[in-house]
Chains A and B, each alone.
Chain A
Amino acid sequence: QKEVEQNSGPLSVPEGAIASLNCTYSDRVSQSFFWYRQYSGKSPELIMSIYSNGDKEDGRFTAQLNKASQYVSLLIRDSQPSDSATYLCAVNMDGGSQGNLIFGKGTKLSVKP
């Protein structure tokens, strides 16, 4: 069974710290990886995508991908209380349409002022 695993948390970090969110996936042929942020009671927002091994930076967010270890992570630098949300890792596992994503159950992040 194709799975995406995340630590459900909550992950608590102080304001200004680096938050590190981790995700592992089961299918070696996966090619596309995404991070979504979901505030409580709201809809998911796509914040990062990554396709190649290594790091991809966008503002305070860095996505890291290691296909050999089947591991993808999201780093949030200078964490702010407004970053408090659930972060969903999503993986395209069939190599076809990226729309066919398998989601992890999410990691709840709490940034304390």
Chain B
Amino acid sequence: DTAVSQTPKYLVTQMGNDKSIKCEQNLGHDTMYWYKQDSKKFLKIMFSYNNKELIINETVPNRFSPKSPDKAHLNLHINSLELGDSAVYFCASSQDGRLAASYFGPGTRLLVL
């Protein structure tokens, strides 16, 4: 049974479009994260939510908006997509916000044309 799942797995879209990525975890963890891994494989945290509350919000363009309807779900909406947004986006979770991300989802490969 998948611990952290993301949809879609691949996303190819045009510049200027708006898209969403969904994430769900069935581990009962309190904290969920969004990470971005660029073409050079550099992994960087974007957001963290603890029990639906935003606790980490790194310097990310406000075109990116996370939403957590409940503690098992953390979605990422991206407005006005740009070429530089092309990357792999990973959702992750941990038992609570004091701990490092322990489980990562399979990633969403976003390509902006």
Which of B14-22, B59-67, B74-82, B102-110 interfaces with chain A? Answer: B102-110
Number of cross-chain contacts by CB at 8 Å: 58
Across the two chains, which residue of chain B brings its CB closest to A41? B107
**CB interface residues, A 52-97, toward B, < 8 Å:** 86, 88, 90, 92, 97
Question: What's the interface size class on B, roughly?
Answer: 20 to 34
Complex Cα distance, B102 from A86, in Å, reads 17
B45 near A100: Cβ-Cβ < 8 Å: yes
Closest Cβ of chain B to A68, distance in Å, is: 23
Question: What's the interface size class on A, roughly?
Answer: 20 to 34
Complex Cα distance, B100 from A43, in Å, reads 15
B104 near A99: Cβ-Cβ < 8 Å: no
B48 near A88: Cβ-Cβ < 8 Å: no
Residue A25 lies at the interface, judged by CB distance under 8 Å to chain B = no
A99 near B105: Cβ-Cβ < 8 Å: no
Contacts of A38 in B (CB 8 A): 41
Residue A30 lies at the interface, judged by CB distance under 8 Å to chain B = no
Closest Cβ of chain A to B99, distance in Å, is: 5
Across the two chains, which residue of chain B brings its CB closest to A97? B97
B98 near A97: Cβ-Cβ < 8 Å: yes
Residues of B near any A CB (own CB < 8 A): 31, 33, 40-45, 48, 55-56, 90, 94, 97-107
Residues of A near any B CB (own CB < 8 A): 32, 34, 38, 42-46, 49, 86, 88, 90, 92, 97-101, 103, 105-106
Beyond A44-B43, A99-B48: 20 further Cβ-contacts under 8 Å? A42-B106, A43-B104, A44-B104, A46-B101, A46-B102, A46-B103, A49-B100, A90-B100, A92-B100, A97-B56, A98-B94, A99-B45, A99-B55, A99-B98, A100-B45, A101-B101, A103-B43, A105-B41, A105-B42, A106-B41
